[in-house]
């Protein structure tokens, strides 16, 4: 079995990092973890009345399979619990263990390249303008049959960016050695191709 090779993919909400990460994982035949789902799962439990830290400590893989985790209310709750240091600490080992599995792994989130896996062999930072990301999130919500207002979604995206970038614990920012991929004017295929090329460059 091949040695561990960690690909860390960070970026703000709706930049396309989830889509890119899944495609990169499939291309290189690696395991994939959407670390944002960990925080969404904790957020969902908090919305149901649970304590955030207790929810994080008791999280199990099956909690990540809940279809309601993609809702806007859960996204907001996830962003709020993500600023709690004890929650982040509780989820840290889960992520690091996943990252170093044999055969390699792709992790996407907000602080993979800076905090979770600073030694990752390949680091990407996927971004796009707030307006482009808000329109994507709005289209996604409408497609799911949820009621949405573009202005409200845009405000939510900007508020989440501000919260993620300003938090004292693991703020959202590119790692110094991350390859920046701006998907504002890229198709999915173009963004995926750029990501695969960046990883191949690191693989040598």
On whether 15 is known to bind a ligand per the annotation, the reply is: yes
On whether 13 is known to bind a ligand per the annotation, the reply is: yes
Burial class (CB in 10 A: 0-12, 13-18, 19+), 93: exposed
The closest alpha carbon to 24, from 94, 100, 124, belongs to 124
List, as one string, the DSSP characters of 178-196: PEEEE-TT--HHHHHHHHH
On whether 12 is known to bind a ligand per the annotation, the reply is: yes
On whether 102 is known to bind a ligand per the annotation, the reply is: no
Q: How far apart are the first and last CA of the chain?
A: 19
> Residue 179 in 3-state DSSP?
strand
* Radius of gyration in angstroms for the set of CA atoms belonging to the chain, rounded to a whole number: 16
On whether 14 is known to bind a ligand per the annotation, the reply is: yes
Cα separations in angstroms, 196 against 53, 185, 200: 36, 18, 6
On whether 11 is known to bind a ligand per the annotation, the reply is: yes
Residues belonging to the binding site for ATP are 11-19
Binding residues: 11-19
């Amino acid at each position: 079995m091949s040695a561990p090779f960690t690909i860390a993919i960070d970026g703000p909400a709706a930049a396309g990092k989830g889509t890119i990460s899944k495609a990169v994982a499939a291309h290189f035949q690696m395991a994939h973890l959407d670390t944002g789902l960990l925080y969404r799962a904790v957020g969902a439990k908090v919305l149901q009345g649970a304590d955030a830290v207790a929810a994080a400590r008791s999280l199990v893989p099956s909690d990540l399979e809940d279809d309601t985790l993609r809702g806007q209310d859960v996204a907001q709750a996830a962003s709020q619990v993500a600023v709690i240091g004890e929650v982040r600490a509780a989820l840290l080992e889960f992520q690091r263990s996943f990252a170093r599995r044999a055969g390699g792994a792709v992790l996407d989130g907000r602080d993979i390249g800076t905090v979770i896996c600073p030694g990752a062999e390949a680091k990407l930072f996927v971004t796009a303008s707030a307006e482009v990301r808000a329109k994507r999130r709005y289209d996604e919500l409408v497609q799911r049959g949820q009621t949405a207002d573009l202005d409200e979604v845009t405000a939510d995206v900007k508020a989440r960016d501000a919260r993620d970038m300003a938090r004292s614990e693991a703020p959202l920012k590119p790692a110094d050695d991350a390859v920046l991929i701006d998907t504002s004017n890229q198709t999915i295929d173009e963004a995926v191709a750029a990501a695969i090329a960046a990883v191949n460059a690191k693989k040598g």
